[in-house]
Structure 1
C-alpha cells in the first residue's frame, strides 16, 4: 500500500463532494445515535426494574418457522437479522469509498485502514494481557473491545456540541467503517463453531443471482429482497454468523452507473441509491432495536456493578476500549507520520488525534454482538461483558468529551474557514484551492 510522500499533510479535508457526502451520512447517523442511546437507557431501566422478568421474557420469546433453524428468540432475530441490514450498509459504504470516494487514492486510504488495524490489535493485546493465564475460557472474548460504534460516537459529538473539523469526522467515520469490516471478518473466522459446508455453498447461489441482478442495475424489490433473504437464511443455517451475508450483499452492489444509464456523470449509482434507502432503516430501526435487546443487563446497584467489574473479562474490555483503542489509533497515526515524515494538516494538533482515538473507544453495538458469540447470550459472563462494554464506552465518552471540548475554540475557527463562500456558488472557497 502506497503511503504519503515525505512532508505531505495528514488528515486533510479532502474534496467538497466527499465532504458533502460525509456530512449527510453523519447527520443520519447522529439521529440514529440518539435513538440508540434512548433504546439503551430504556433497556437498562426495564432490566433493573421490578418488571425485569417481563424484559427477559420478551427478549427470549421465540418466533419464526422451524425451517432453516429460523425459530429464534427476538434477541437473536435482532442480532442475526437486523444487524445484517447494518452490515449491508457498511458493505455499501466501504465499497463506495474505495471505488468512487476520496479513498480510491491509496495514499488517502492508507491512514484510516492502518489506524483501524492498530485500533483493533492494541485493544485485543490489552485484553489478552489482563486475562492471560485465567484458564476459564476468558480469552474467547479477545475481540470484544476491538470495535468502534460510529452511531454512539456521533451521538456523543452531538451532545457535547463540538465543531469537529471535516477531516477528523471523515477520519473517524472511515476508520469505524473499516473497523466494522474487520470485526465481521473476525466473527466469520473465529466465532464460527460449527460449519455446515453444504448450507454455506448453497448460500452462494442466491448471492450469485443477487450479484448478477444488481450488476444489471435491476432495482425490483420483489426480486432482490427474496434473494437477499435466502442468502441470509442459508448462511445463518451454515453456522457462519448471518451478518457476514449483509457485508457480501453490500459488496455485490455496483457503485458506478452503467454506460447504458449514462455513466457516472448521469447521477448516483445503485450503491448510493440503496444506501439512501437502507441507512435510515439501519440507523433508525436495526441498531436501536438490537441495542434494546442486547443492553438490558441487571446491574444490581453499585454493589452489583462493582462485582461485575471484578471479573477480569469486564476489566479487560474496559481497559481495551479506553486504553487500547487510544494507543492503537494514536500510535498508528503517529508511526505513519514518523516514517513518512508527514505532518498534520494546518490547524490540527496531536491532541485532536488523541481525542478522536479516545472517541473510537466507544465500542457498543458490535462489541455486544461479539460478547454474545464469545460467551453465550444470557450467561453470567455475558452479563459481565455487557457491564464492561457499557462502562468502557461511557468512560471513553467522558474522556473524549473533555479532550474535544478543550479544543472546541480551534475547531470553531476551522469550521468558519470551511464555511466561507465569497463567490456564492454553494462551494466553500477552501475547497476550490488548487490542492483540492
Structure 2
C-alpha cells in the first residue's frame, strides 16, 4: 500500500513532485544565504577581537533615523528590528503557503513538523531553565535562546551533507525551522515585551488592514504596498512589541491561491509564492547576513575568556538546550505523532534519520542571537556568554549532524536514485506518478 493511501499514514512519506521541486529551489537559495551568513559571522568575530574592535562597536552603535517618530535607532537595532522583519515576512509566506497549498494541507502530514517544533521549543527551554536556575532569576530570563532553528544555516548544512536526503525529510526540516522560528517570535511578543503602548498598536491595524485588502485583490504595486508595510512596521515598533512581529502579520495577510477570476488554484503560482520568490533572496542574501555581521561579534578575551564563557550557567544552558534539548524534543515530538496515530516511518528510513534532522534543528543562530540581546541587553556580560554559547552549540550540533547523516548516506543515495528515475522522460520522476 503506498504512502498516500487514506487508510494508512506514513511518517515522512513521499509528497508531491511540485513540492519536491519547490523544496529544491528553496534549498539552493538558502545554501547561498547560509554561506553568506557564515562569512558575515566570521568577519564579525574577527573584527570584534581585532585591534579595530572599537570601530566595530562604533558602527553597531551609530544612530540614524527620525527621533520624533521613535525611530532614532542604532545600526544594530535597525538590523535586528528592521532587516529581520523581512526574514519573518518570508517565513510567514512560507508557512502559510505550506499549509494552504503545500503537502502540509493534509492535517496528518502537518502534525509531524508542528509536534516536532513544539517539542524542539519546550525541551530546550526546560533544560536551559533547570541549568540556569542556580545563577538567579535574571539568568533564567534567557530560557528561549536555544528554542529557535536557523533556517539558512540548517539548510546550508543539509545541502552540503544531505544531497541524497529524501525530499520528505528536507520538507520536514524546512517546515520545522519555519514553525519554531514563528513560535520564537510569538515568545518574543509575549515574554519580551516590557511595555505596551496601546494606541500605536491599534493604529497599526489600519495600514495592516489596507495592505490585506489590497493583496487579497491581488495588487502587486510595490509603491502602494511598501509604504503600508513600512507604516505597519513603524507602529508595531512604537507599540513596544518587537517590530519583527509585523513581518509575520504581513506575510500571513498575503493570499496563497489565485483568485477564480485569474483561473483559480490550478492556474499557477499565487501572490504568496510570487512575493516569496522576490523577497527570499533579499532575506537570505542581505537581511540575515547583515544582522549576523552586526550581532555575532563578541569579544572573547582569549582562551581564559572562552573558559569563563563555557563554564557560565547561561552558556551551559544554551549549549545543552541546542545540542541535546533540540534533538530530544524533535525526535520525541515526532515519536508521539507516530505512536498515537499508529503510523510508521517511510520505507528505508529509521529513527537515526530523524535524530540527524533533530541535530540540524540545534543550529540556532539568527533568532537565538536576537533573543539573547532581548534577554540580557546589548553589551551585557551574560549576553556575550550567550553569543559564544549559541555559536559553539550551533557548531557542535552541525558537526554531530554531519557525522550521523554521513553514516546514513548509502541509504539516502538509494532512496534518492529511486526518486529521480524518469523512464518515460516526461520531466516527472516515476515515483511521483505512481503515488
| Corresponding residue number in structure 1 for 2:159 | 158
Q: What is the rounded CA distance, in whole Å, between the counterparts of 1:36 and 1:221 in structure 2?
A: 27
User: Residue 288 in 1 paired to residue 289 in 2?
Assistant: yes
Task: Give per-residue Cα distances to partners, 1:166-210, cap 9 Å, x unaligned.
Answer: 111111001111111111111110110010000111111100010
**Could you tell me which residue of structure 2 aligns to residue 267 of structure 1?**
268
Q: How far is 1:162 from its partner?
A: 4.3
How far 1:8 moved relative to its partner?
2.6
State the alpha-carbon separation in 2 of the partners of residues 138 and 240 from structure 1. 22
Q: Distance in 2 between the 1:5 and 1:329 partners? A: 25
The C-alpha deviation readout for 1:301-358, integer Å capped at 9, x for no partner, is 2211111112101110000000000100011111222222211101111111110001
TM norm structure 2: 0.97
User: Is the Cα contact below 8 Å between 2:9 and 2:108 reproduced in 1?
Assistant: no
Aligned match of 2:66: 65
Structure 1 residue 34 displacement after superposition? 0.7
Output the CA distance in 2 between the equivalents of 1:332 and 1:261: 40
Give 2:140's aligned residue.
139
Aligned to 2:125: 124
- After TM superposition, the structure 1 = structure 2 runs for residues 188-199 of structure 1, keeping only pairs within 5 Å, are 188-199=189-200
CA distance in 1, matches of 2:7, 2:324: 30
Q: Structure 1 residue 422: deviation in Å?
A: 0.1
> Structure 1 residues 118, 61: CA separation in 2 closer, same or farther (over 3 Å shift)?
same
* Structure 1 pair 35–184 and aligned structure 2 pair: CA distance change class (3 A): same
1:243 maps to: 244
Distance 1:136 1:115 in 2: 28
Cα distance in 1, alignment partners of residues 268 and 341 from structure 2: 37
Rounded Cα–Cα distance in structure 2 between residues aligned with 1:339 and 1:262? 40
Deviations 1:135-157 (A, max 9, x none): 25011101000000121012222
CA distance in 2 between partners of 1:291 and 1:29 (Å): 15
Secondary structure at the counterpart of residue 141 of structure 1: coil
Moved over 6 A (4+): none
Per-residue CA deviations over 1:106-144 (Å, capped at 9, x if unaligned) read 011011101100010000010011012432501110100
Please identify, of 306-315 and 153-162, the stretch whose mean Cα deviation from structure 2 is larger.
153-162
Give 1:23 shift.
1.0
The equivalent of 1:206 in structure 2 is: 207
Task: Provide the C-alpha distance between the structure 2 equivalents of 1:328 and 1:202, rounded to a whole number of angstroms.
Answer: 39
Cα deviation for residue 271 of structure 1 reads 0.6
Cα displacement (A) at 1:7 = 5.4
Matching residue of 1:397 = 398
Judge conservation of contact 2:37–2:292 (CA < 8 Å) in 1. Answer: yes
Cα distance in 2 between the residues matched to 1:131 and 1:329: 22
Q: Match for residue 382 of structure 1?
A: 383
SS of the equivalent of 1:331 reads helix
CA shift digits 1:382-401 (9 cap, x unpaired): 11110010011011011101
* 1:40–1:296 Cα contact (<8 Å) kept: yes
Q: CA shift at 1:158, angstroms? A: 3.4
Q: CA deviation at 1:282?
A: 0.4
- 1:375–1:5 CA distance, 2 compared to 1 (3 A): farther
149-158 vs 233-242, which moves further: 149-158
Q: CA RMSD in A?
A: 1.3
**Residue matched to 1:112:** 113
The reply on whether 1:21 has 2:22 as its aligned counterpart is yes
Structure 2 matches for 1:412-431, cutoff 5 A? 412-431=413-432
Question: Using the alignment, how far apart are the partners of 2:23 and 2:357 within structure 1?
Answer: 16
Please give the per-residue CA displacement for 1:354-390, whole angstroms capped at 9, x wherever unaligned: 1000110001000001111111112111111100100
SS of the aligned residue for 1:137 comes to: helix
1:370 aligned residue: 371
In structure 2, stretches of 5+ residues that fail to align are: none
Residue 277 of structure 2 aligns to a residue whose secondary structure is helix
Report the counterpart of residue 319 of structure 1 in structure 2: 320
Structure 1 position 11 matched with structure 2 position 12 = yes
Structure-1 separation of matches of 2:163 and 2:270:
33
Q: Distance in 2 between matches of 1:397 and 1:224?
A: 39
The whole-number CA distance in structure 2 between the counterparts of 1:83 and 1:192 is 17
Q: Deviations over 1:197-251 (max 9, x none)?
A: 0011111110001011111111111110000000000100110000000000000
Cα distance between partner residues in 2 of 1:236 and 1:325: 31
Which residue does the alignment assign to 1:227?
Answer: 228
Conservation of the 8 A alpha-carbon contact between 1:7 and 1:340: no
Q: CA–CA distance in 2 between the matches of 1:167 and 1:218?
A: 33
Distance in 2, Cα, partners of 1:28 & 1:357: 22
Q: In structure 2, what is the Cα distance between the partners aligned to 1:356 and 1:246? A: 27
